[in-house]
Chains A and B, each alone.
Chain A
Amino acid sequence: MAGTVVIGAGQAASQLVATLRAEGYADPIAVIGDEPYPPYQRPPLSKKFLAGELTEDRLYIKPPEFYEQAGAMLKLGVSAVAVDRAAKTVTLSDGAALGYDSLVFATGSRVRKLTVPGSDLPGIHYLRGIDDVKAIQPHFHAGKRMVVVGGGYIGLETAAVAAKRGLAVTVVEAMERCLQRVTSPLMSAFFQTLHRAEGVVIQTETGVTGFEASPGGGLVVKTTKGEIACDFVVAGIGILPGQELAAACGIVCDNGIVVDEFARTSDPNVYAAGDCANLPSKLMGRRLRLESVHNAIEQAKTAALSIAGKPKAYDDVPWFWSDQYDIKLQIAGLSAPGDTVVVRGDPASRKFAAFYLRDGVVAAVDAVNAAPEYMIGRMMIAQKKAVDPGRLADPATPMKSLMG
């Protein structure tokens, strides 16, 4: 038996190995990763790992012995360069070819790169992998001037760690407000106020037009609203699904590798899981691509169950989290412009939640230091629960009683 080949060695790949073996799958498993590291957690990269509070080995999802004991071959530091679906083989960058019965794309995503003039100057960084953080860390000292391009979660988490470290931080955001693509004006205002209170400069509606090397060292960031001198730049302007190889071998892709609820692609022997996959969500009422640990884990379990001959449909409420300063933001569901926003608690108290109602039911929740709101909100989304907005907004009404 040729077994299962997993392209990609991240959160989904690690879970695939665990679930395949737990389900009694006995054929060979090979995991191909282009980074030199065993599967590791990415969320801490822009949080505790950047802050230096976590050593590299603590990022590893499982110790290397786990893969040995599971009889899974980790091929690290090589990339898959071609897939021949007729011959069922994957060709690697080192020239080797691996045969498969089942193939899984767990290729994740890659950062969207800046394209303005000067974007390839030294000192312009991204934050997606361990090596990215290692490249940033030598510059990451009190007194240094950092410009963050992009006020999304990665940019704001990076800004938070830097501000705590004593760097002078400027966040440049092209849109009207930070987090505009992912949350409501209320939450954007909360996070902008939070960062400004910590000394971070936030410039919204500011487009980056180019970079220049400063004669005295460092960089000049040119924007639509003037120039900003700094020592280095971290850009967090989104990610793109890792679909090139799948598309090149004729698998249907459309904002990600298109899969069904069983993680199957357009080829019955090929699966996809995690950031790279575009999945159907009955709960959310549309197709979507999710960039989250939870989705990587659950979709990997789904793919593994399909491969092991025990298919089980996947349709979960998406959830996410972000840590900035002493704030833990927990998010369930996907909010959209036009949702009715119901606020519970006072944002000034740093403990509150924003619920997003669509057609009278809870579609999403953003909870700030408010775990009950998050947990019950997640259940409400799953159950498409109709709620009384007045009672929901009243912190004196216990969350649990709203489920009754």
Chain B
Amino acid sequence: MPKVTFIEHSGKEHVVDAAAGLSVMEAAVKNLVPGIDADCGGACACATCHVYVDPAFGAKIPEKSDMEQTMLDFANEVTADSRLSCQIKITPELDGLVVRLPASQH
């Protein structure tokens, strides 16, 4: 099963097994990673699952939809690595994925 590492803003790491087909957000929620609220349940409607994707993996993830981009435009502390984790589907190629959580989500 692909592994995903979540790094809280404090530096605390959570390495979780993430089944292919789930979203990165769901992998976090299922494994009790704090800081990913996902209020809308993955409908790309709330921007409470914002993460920074490690640049090494950026190219392996499909590009943002217009909807995701717009939701991010209004999120806090957005950088070039920002994504909504509910919109990233886990695939075998993403094994070892590292994402960091923003300061505002803790």
Chain B's closest residue to A70 (CB) is B32
**Which of the listed residues B26, B31, B66 has the most CB atoms from chain A within 10 Å of its own CB?**
B66
State whether B39 touches A43 (Cβ < 8 A).
no
Q: Report Cα–Cα, A345/B76, bound state, in Å.
A: 28
State whether A44 touches B41 (Cβ < 8 A).
yes
State whether B40 touches A293 (Cβ < 8 A).
yes
Q: Contact mask A348-382 → B, CB, 8 Å, 1/0?
A: 00000000000000000000010110010000000
State whether A375 touches B71 (Cβ < 8 A).
yes
CB distance from A369 to the nearest CB of B (A): 8
Q: Report Cα–Cα, A65/B33, bound state, in Å.
A: 12
CB distance from B36 to the nearest CB of A (A): 11
State whether B66 touches A371 (Cβ < 8 A).
yes
Q: Contact mask A39-77 → B, CB, 8 Å, 1/0?
A: 001011000000000000010011101100100000000
Q: Report Cα–Cα, A41/B45, bound state, in Å.
A: 14
State whether B74 touches A375 (Cβ < 8 A).
yes
State whether A63 touches B30 (Cβ < 8 A).
yes
A319 neighbours in B (Cβ, 8 Å)? 45
A275 is an interface residue with CB less than 8 A from chain B: no
A69 neighbours in B (Cβ, 8 Å)? 32
CB distance from A66 to the nearest CB of B (A): 6
Contact of A321 among B31, B45, B66, B73 (CB under 8 A): B45
State whether B39 touches A294 (Cβ < 8 A).
yes
Total cross-chain contacts (CB, 8 A): 46
A157 is an interface residue with CB less than 8 A from chain B: no
CB distance from B73 to the nearest CB of A (A): 7
Chain A's closest residue to B69 (CB) is A371
State whether B67 touches A63 (Cβ < 8 A).
no
State whether B26 touches A43 (Cβ < 8 A).
no
A231 is an interface residue with CB less than 8 A from chain B: no
B70 is an interface residue with CB less than 8 A from chain A: yes
B29 is an interface residue with CB less than 8 A from chain A: yes
Q: Report Cα–Cα, A277/B71, bound state, in Å.
A: 29
A297 is an interface residue with CB less than 8 A from chain B: yes
B56 is an interface residue with CB less than 8 A from chain A: no
B32 neighbours in A (Cβ, 8 Å)? 62-63, 65-66, 69
CB distance from B2 to the nearest CB of A (A): 17
CB distance from B86 to the nearest CB of A (A): 12
State whether B45 touches A372 (Cβ < 8 A).
no
B59 is an interface residue with CB less than 8 A from chain A: no
Chain A's closest residue to B41 (CB) is A41
B9-30, CB < 8 A from A = 22, 26, 29-30
State whether B43 touches A58 (Cβ < 8 A).
no
Q: Report Cα–Cα, A26/B42, bound state, in Å.
A: 30
Contact of B70 among A61, A65, A371 (CB under 8 A): A371
Contact of B43 among A43, A62, A63 (CB under 8 A): A43
Chain B's closest residue to A41 (CB) is B41
Chain A's closest residue to B39 (CB) is A297
CB-CB under 8 A for A372 and B73, given A65-B32, A330-B45: yes
B71 neighbours in A (Cβ, 8 Å)? 371, 375
CB distance from B9 to the nearest CB of A (A): 15
Q: Report Cα–Cα, A322/B29, bound state, in Å.
A: 23
A144 is an interface residue with CB less than 8 A from chain B: no
B40 neighbours in A (Cβ, 8 Å)? 43, 293-294, 321
B74 neighbours in A (Cβ, 8 Å)? 375
A385 neighbours in B (Cβ, 8 Å)? none
Q: Report Cα–Cα, A319/B31, bound state, in Å.
A: 28
| A–B complex contacts, Cβ < 8 Å, 6 sampled | A62-B29, A293-B40, A321-B45, A371-B71, A375-B70, A375-B74
By a beta-carbon cutoff of 8 Å, the part of chain A in contact with chain B is 41, 43-44, 58, 61-63, 65-66, 69, 293-294, 297, 319, 321, 323, 328, 330, 369, 371-372, 375
3 closest A-B pairs by CB? A371-B70, A41-B41, A375-B74
Query: Known pairs A43-B41, A66-B32, A375-B70. 20 more at Cβ < 8 A?
Result: A43-B40, A43-B43, A44-B41, A62-B29, A62-B32, A65-B32, A293-B40, A293-B41, A294-B40, A294-B46, A297-B39, A319-B45, A328-B43, A328-B67, A330-B45, A371-B66, A371-B67, A372-B70, A372-B73, A375-B71
